[in-house]
């Protein structure tokens, strides 16, 4: 199966733990591993895993202080859009699962497509790399077809539904 390639920095910062670590370091000059662990509330092993990924992209760096303390600081500035939360002005939409044969859960146009001989295929996206790649692919397709698609930065699809015409 071919993979859709995504910007590694975007992919890294799409992960909530790495994003929280980056934001914590952006708000302070530097922080120790213990301070970061308390700030993000993650196990030490996972903390190092995520810090190592951020360091490999030159977003953060560490150095040893006196003793065994390890201190981290942000090295590259990335503008992060704010998190969009549901509100009256911009409600968050949710997708419901479709039970085969129960087209009442689908919007009318999708139901019509199936009734007219189409078929729906669901692609399960495994992991953040697939999710970020799928999001980028959707944005490119929307742009090429002149469709305004305003997805929040934290939108990561977990499944994609494809509608095909049977021939």
What residue spans define the domains of the chain? 8-74, 103-165
Kindly state the average pLDDT of the residues 96-114. 54
Between 103 and 153, residue with greater pLDDT = 153
pLDDT tens sequence across 70-97: 899 999 988 775 443 333 333 333 333 3
Between 33 and 107, residue with greater pLDDT = 33
- pTM of structure: 0.50
Q: What is the pLDDT of residue 130?
A: 77
Q: How confident is the model at residue 61 (pLDDT cuts 50, 70, 90)?
A: very high
Q: Which residue has the tokens 């799928």?
A: 134
**Pick among 1.10.10.10, 2.40.10.120, 1.20.1050.10, 3.40.30.10: CATH of 8-74:** 1.10.10.10
């Amino acid at each position: 199966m071919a993979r859709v390639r995504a910007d590694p920095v975007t992919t890294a910062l799409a992960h909530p733990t790495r994003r929280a670590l980056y934001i914590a370091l952006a708000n302070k000059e530097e922080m120790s591993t213990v301070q970061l662990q308390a700030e993000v509330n993650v196990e030490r092993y996972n903390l190092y895993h995520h810090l190592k990924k951020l360091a490999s992209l030159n977003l953060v760096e560490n150095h040893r202080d006196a003793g065994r303390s390890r201190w981290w600081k942000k090295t590259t500035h990335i503008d992060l859009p704010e998190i969009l939360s549901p509100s009256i002005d911009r409600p968050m939409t949710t997708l419901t699962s479709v039970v085969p044969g129960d087209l009442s859960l689908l919007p009318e146009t999708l139901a019509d497509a199936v009734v007219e001989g189409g078929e729906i295929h669901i692609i399960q996206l495994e992991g953040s790399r697939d999710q970020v790649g799928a999001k980028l692919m959707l944005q490119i397709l929307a742009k090429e077809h002149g469709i305004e698609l305003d997805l929040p930065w934290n939108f990561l699809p977990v499944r994609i539904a494809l509608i095909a015409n049977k021939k």
